[in-house]
Structure 1
Amino acid sequence: MKLEEFDFDLPESLIAQTPLLKRAESRLLALDKRTGSVSDTKFENITAYLNPGDALVLNDTKVLPARLFGVKKDTGAKIEMLLLKPIEGGYEVLIRPAKRVKPGTEIDFGDGLLTAVCTDTFAEGIRHVSLHHDGLLENVLDELGEMPLPPYIKETLDDKDRYQTVYAKHAGSAAAPTAGLHFTEALLDEIRHKGVHISYITLHVGLGTFRPVSVDDIEEHKMHSEFYIMTDETASTLNAVKENGGKVVSVGTTSTRTLETIMRDHGQFVEASGFTDIFIYPGFKYKAVDALITNFHLPKSSLMMLVSAFSDRETIMNAYRHAIDEEYRFFSFGDAMIIYEDEE
């Protein structure tokens, strides 16, 4: 398939720059993937699309306030550093301007609260660094760091917690699993009360989630790799749900990639961890996920391809045209869509 098939025109005014005051008051577009019919509602009504015995799968990764601003120790030159993922002996980071940072370069943050020493260099501004600090790194980042918001968000985020889900637990992401930002504790309680199982997986979202697909033939695209974990408790719950005829409802593309990776590799849900670079695009046969809750994605992105594979490209593009006509809010702080198949 060609990249241009996943392109669409989006008015810049529809790119949400700030989160809503109340999470669950975002809009929800409900799409029946079999018929293509759409309806408009509020996210707080998501329970109408969940049935007793279903499982709602949430990604409980926590975003690190991983954007740091410091200076080179020897020259005082300003450096911006974004933590991407832990590696043996330190962290993989993105440096700007990268040309100033070579092996042995020391960067000081917060008047010595944190020091990074470059250990290796790679293309596109990627560096490996060792980090030196007192106490827990997470506490140091809470004091010094900023949330690594996507490049299409130009506004400053006053409350760091609004770029976290209410169930965020395991720190390690460079970006939020944004489909989960709409849930509140009260809404999750309502879902539990209906008899829906709530299960958690972890996938640490990397910088690659923002990288556009750059090849004309999408089958030539190489996906970034991200670390995931599924516990035995979650695996057992999801297997039981499937066996009893319930639906696995995935919240977000990150949960979806984890679930489909495990089902692809093992034929069932199992306790597992590792790195996945699964690329889901039309033609892919979903085996794990029965319904998908997701935000509205960038044109020509791998996320658009994943969503299109869950239904079909034309049905998704029609739903997006409806969302644009109805002035839904797009991307990370935008509105949501649930893709499901209505039971006849």
Structure 2
Amino acid sequence: MKKEDFYFKLPEELIAQDPLEDRSASRLLVLDKESGKIEHRMFRDIKAYLKPGDCLVINDTKVIPARLIGSKIGTDAKIEILLLKRKENDIWETLVKPGKKAKPGTKISFGEGLLIGEVIDVVEEGNRLIQFSYQGIFEEILDQLGQMPLPPYITHQLEDKNRYQTVYAKHSGSAAAPTAGLHFTPELLKEIKESGVDIAHVTLHVGLGTFRPVKVENIQEHHMHSEFYHIEASEAEKINRAKRGGHRIICVGTTSCRTIESAAKPDGTLSECSGWTEIFIYPGYQFKVLDCLLTNFHLPESTLIMLVSALAGREHVLHAYEEAVKEQYRFFSFGDAMLIV
């Protein structure tokens, strides 16, 4: 299966640069995965497609303000880093720009010395291990100095940091938001719950590997970065209970989908667990737990459009994307949504 099989033409003006004022006012394209039939709705109409007994699975990870801009001690050269993975002893795996200025031994000052980072090693993909020193609480300093790590295709500054968080974000650790969840408001979630739909929380800390371009021609040779996930016993039971009752599991976003598919036993059941996943889902994959998926519109030739194609079929998905372009849907993180049923 080739990378180019997942290409589609996207006019640049359809890339959403800003979130809507009302989260649930985005549009919703509903795709029937069996027939390929398409409906155009508003996001708040999602309630019409959820049935009592269904289980909605949401990723409650919280994005950290992981983008830090500092200066190299000794030369004052500007260095930008992105926190990717927390290790022990205040060591983080980071992405550094420009990398050539960040050799082991380099020290970087952030916030006029509030935070000092020392490059201690170079790891895969040219990422750097940086050890931080500071006075006080790291999270508070990060909140003060860090910026939200918006994807490169968003060129506007984000006025309100919370608009790149879901309303149910709880556990800090992501370098990017699980964007399908950005459409929900507390009121809409309450209405969904009151209609008899169960809501299960899982956590997957989204790394930048999700957005890493596929560089190989044969997609099966692509390697995903590992991401940490956790499922509590009570949430696993909600999903198991819905499955036992013959109800549907509807994942909000590709990250929730990858979490439960990584954690599922061969019989499709879940139990409390934590771990690292490198799961790459593309056409031919047999889903063990998921039945339906709510997701945003993704980049051409990305691992995300491959995952969506595994569920609904490549032809149905590419036709739906053509339709979305024709109907001027907004694309990517702050864009509109697609529900695959």
Aligned to 2:176: 175
Instruction: Say yes or no: does 1:294 pair with 2:299.
Output: no
Distance 2:213 2:104 in 1: 29
Instruction: Say yes or no: does 1:3 pair with 2:3.
Output: yes
The offset of 1:209, in angstroms, is: 1.4
Aligned to 2:166: 165
The offset of 1:8, in angstroms, is: 0.5
Contact map agreement 1:97 1:125 (CA 8 A) in 2: no
The offset of 1:124, in angstroms, is: 4.2
Aligned to 1:200: 201
Name the aligned partner's letter for residue 233 of structure 1. S
Distance 1:126 1:15 in 2: 28
Question: How big is the alpha-carbon RMSD for the aligned residues of Structure 1 and Structure 2?
Answer: 1.1
Aligned to 1:309: 310
Aligned to 2:257: 256
Task: State the secondary structure of the residue aligned to 1:239.
Answer: helix
Aligned to 2:45: 45
Mapping of residues 1-344 of structure 1, within 5 Å: 1-89=1-89, 90-122=91-123, 124-264=125-265, 267-340=268-341
Distance 1:265 1:274 in 2: 17
Distance 2:228 2:124 in 1: 22
Q: Residues 174-208 of structure 1: CA distance to partner in whole angstroms, max 9, x if unpaired?
A: 00000000000000000111011111000000011
Q: Residues 29-57 of structure 1: CA distance to partner in whole angstroms, max 9, x if unpaired?
A: 01111111111111111111111111111
Task: State the secondary structure of the residue aligned to 1:71.
Answer: strand
The offset of 1:136, in angstroms, is: 2.4
Q: Residues 223-253 of structure 1: CA distance to partner in whole angstroms, max 9, x if unpaired?
A: 1110000100111111111001111110000
| TM-score scaled by length of structure 1 | 0.97
Contact map agreement 2:210 2:224 (CA 8 A) in 1: no
Task: State the secondary structure of the residue aligned to 1:305.
Answer: helix
Distance 2:169 2:202 in 1: 11
Size of the aligned set, in residue pairs, is 340
Contact map agreement 2:268 2:289 (CA 8 A) in 1: no
Q: Residues 91-127 of structure 1: CA distance to partner in whole angstroms, max 9, x if unpaired?
A: 0011111111122221110011111111111354410
Distance 1:62 1:334 in 2: 19
Name the aligned partner's letter for residue 255 of structure 1. S
| TM-score scaled by length of structure 2 | 0.98
Identity %: 57
Distance 1:13 1:320 in 2: 15
Task: State the secondary structure of the residue aligned to 2:29.
Answer: strand
Contact map agreement 1:282 1:305 (CA 8 A) in 2: yes
Q: Residues 306-334 of structure 1: CA distance to partner in whole angstroms, max 9, x if unpaired?
A: 00000110011111111011000000000
Distance 1:263 1:123 in 2: 29
- Cα 1:88/1:265, change in 2 over 3 Å: farther
